Structure formats: C-alpha cells, structure tokens
Amino acid sequence: MGVSGKHSVVCIALALMAFTGGAQAGPALDKRVFAKVDDAAQQWVTSGHTPGLAVGVMLDGKILFAKGYGLADLENSTPVTPDTVFRIGSLTKQFTAAAVLTLVEKGQVSLDAPLSDYFPEFYLGRQVTVRQLLTHTSGISAYSDRTNPKNSWDYRSDLSTAQMVDRIEHFYPPYQFPPGSAWHYSNSGYFLLGAIVEKVSGRSLAEYLRQEVFPRAGLTNTALDDGVAVVPHRASGYEVTPGGGYRRADFLSMTVPGGAGAMRSTISDLLKWHEALFSGRVVSGALFREMIAPARLSDGRLASSARVASGEPPLPDFEYGFGLFIAKVHGHRRINHNGGINGFNATLNTYPDDHLTWVALSNSGGGVSARDAKLGTISGVSEEIEEILIKEN
C-alpha cells in the first residue's frame, strides 16, 4: 500500500470516530471531518489499492455507521454496499471456537480431552488437547505453509474432511514443537477443530454453525462458504497486479480452509456477532472468559513467551485466546482478529472497555492494511487506526 492508502486508512478511522461521537470520553468530531474522510476512502479505492471496501462501526451495541466504497464486481460494475458479502478468512476461527464451546456447554466435548478421542490414529494425538488446538499451542504444523516441496498439493480440488485430516496428519514435518511447549499460528489446528465439531455433532460444520451458532447472534448473511452456492450481493475477489490494476484471485476450494478460514459475511453481521459474543449470548460467561484469556503453555508460562518464528514480519505484542488476539493499545484493551484469503482481507476489532467495535472488509489481497499484501493472515490492526481511535477517546 502506498502513502495515499495509509492516509485513507487513517481517515477511515477518523470517520468511525466521527460517527461514534469520540466513543465515551472524547469530543464529537466535526462533520466536515467525516466529509473529508469519505472523500479519502473513495480515493483509496480509485487509487487502485482495492476494488471495493466496506466499513462499519458499532458503539454501545448500536450500528452507527455502515458504508461501501468502490466495486464488488469489476466486470459488472456492481457497487459495494453495506450488504455486500465478502469472504473473511481467519475471522472464521472465532466462529469455529464458539462452535466447539457450545459442545463443551452440552458436555459433549472437553477442553482438555486429547485429539486421539476424536481421531485415534492421529500421530501424537494423545499428547494434543482441544485447548491446545484452540490456542495454537498444539505444535501441529500449519498445512497452509507450502514452502517444503514435500507438502505440495492442489488446493483447487474439493476434499472431504477425512482427506484433509489425513493430509494434516502426514504433513512434513508433522509438528513444529512438542505439544504445549510453544506458540505457533496454525490453520491445521482450526481445521481439526471443525472436524471435531462434525464428528461429535454428526452434522457438517456448515450445518452446525447455521443451526446452533449463528441464531444466537441473529446472523442472516453469514455462512461457511462453498464453491456452489448462489449468494446475493457476493463480492468477487481480486489481487493487485504488479503494474497496477487487478486480476481475479486464484481459485481455492473452500473445503481446504474449512473451520480455519472458509466463511463469508457482511459488515453488519460481523458487528452483531461481536456484540452478541461479548454480551454472553453465544457462549456462557465462564466459557467466554476462557475464550479471551491469554493462552498458557504446559509449564504455566504465557504462550507469548515462546513464539515459534514463521518467516513473517515480527508481530506486535499480543496474547491469544480461543480464535481471538488479545492486546493493549495505549492502555486500551483490544480483542480482535484479522483474515486474509485469496482475493479478500478482513479485520474485526472490539475495544471492550470503550464499548466500541469496528470492521473493514476488502475484496483484494492487500485491501485493509499495509501489511495485508505480505501476510496470508493479518496479525494486527494498523497503528494509524489504533492511534486515532485512542486519541479521540
């Protein structure tokens, strides 16, 4: 992202604050600021950083701002609106975690049960717990890391859950470290969690989410995506080309990301999701507190004390719960996740002490922050947005 892209991200954050009245403590921004921000957001799109963008903000449980910019489909000149449906990548993980926790509430899954209870043949499955899968401390290698030629396979082909579990089990190397001894972000763990939901419930993960999880938050435009559904208001995914312009994103079968990253949603549904999740309507208060508690290793240390490098740029200070990053930004708590998948990027952020949540969805591989083009999954919110949010509070 160029300078104008960064400027527009800052301005988008200013727009959010204009509509929130500066959250709780800060003064309301002048409406003229929002007009400038609106122009800057449109300029971000017209400058070629992304075909389309949707931004929304919620304060005290009320959606105060929701707007689309640019195009959801370049070939048909379809504009982005607040109802545009985007793939959301790794934002999926918090939904998968919530699905697991609903089974914990029913007594059908234990957080400390071994993986071998569900997949008896899985290598070292007796040493890996459900909790470790949720917190990225299982040590199981991320199947999305294709740097080793031994792990080369076609991500365009539809695979059954059993086939995907088998590929994860036979990935090389199968483990990055002994289970419970370190932290490493792994899509494999969340695919396996989705597979556990299917095995225990007797339903597909898509069905379980639709029947048992989404209704708790009143979601109507969210689903585990597939390659066959006709979805009204769906955005097409693109990648920015080296010389400027766009190309269609490479095809990826949604059977591959599964519970790690296959969902689609809208800005309003995602805002409603966090409002329901944080108010205890999705999982019980006790389990939600576990969901946002920093992960710990087997020896009791915080998982952040032993991160295994993944070849990505250094990450900011954070902890990880169940499908959610936990951090402090200038003294303010932030609980969030970001998502990147072929042709799409997403970020969903809640500042619980400020009762403020904001979301941005983009239909390009580098559309939400300057780091998106480099990371398959976004690890943090841009410093510019965070600084503006805090300064205006």
**Segments making up each domain of the chain, as ranges:** 73-96+202-376
Q: What is the pLDDT of residue 186?
A: 95
Give pLDDT tens digits for 77-128: 999 999 999 999 999 999 999 999 999 999 999 999 999 999 999 999 999 9
Q: What is the pLDDT of residue 144?
A: 87
- SS3 string, 273-306, reads HHHHHHCCCCCCHHHHHHHCCCCECCCCCEHHHH
Which range has the worst mean pLDDT, 45-49, 140-144, 261-265, 365-369?
365-369
Distance CA 306, CA 178 (A): 12
Distance CA 378, CA 369 (A): 9
Which residue in the block uniquely carries the two structure tokens 């309003």?
Answer: 268
Q: How many Cβ atoms are within 10 Å of 30's Cβ, its own excluded?
A: 10
Residue type, 288: F
- Residue predicted with more confidence, 53 or 264: 264
Residue 367 in this model has a pLDDT that exceeds 70 = no
Give pLDDT tens digits for 187-227: 999 999 999 999 999 999 999 999 999 999 999 999 999 98
Q: What is the pLDDT of residue 48?
A: 76
Q: What is the pLDDT of residue 309?
A: 65
Distance CA 357, CA 324 (A): 14
pTM of the model: 0.87
Give pLDDT tens digits for 288-311: 999 999 999 999 999 999 998 654
Which range has the worst mean pLDDT, 158-167, 213-222, 351-360, 378-387?
378-387
**CATH class of the domain defined by 73-96+202-376:** alpha beta
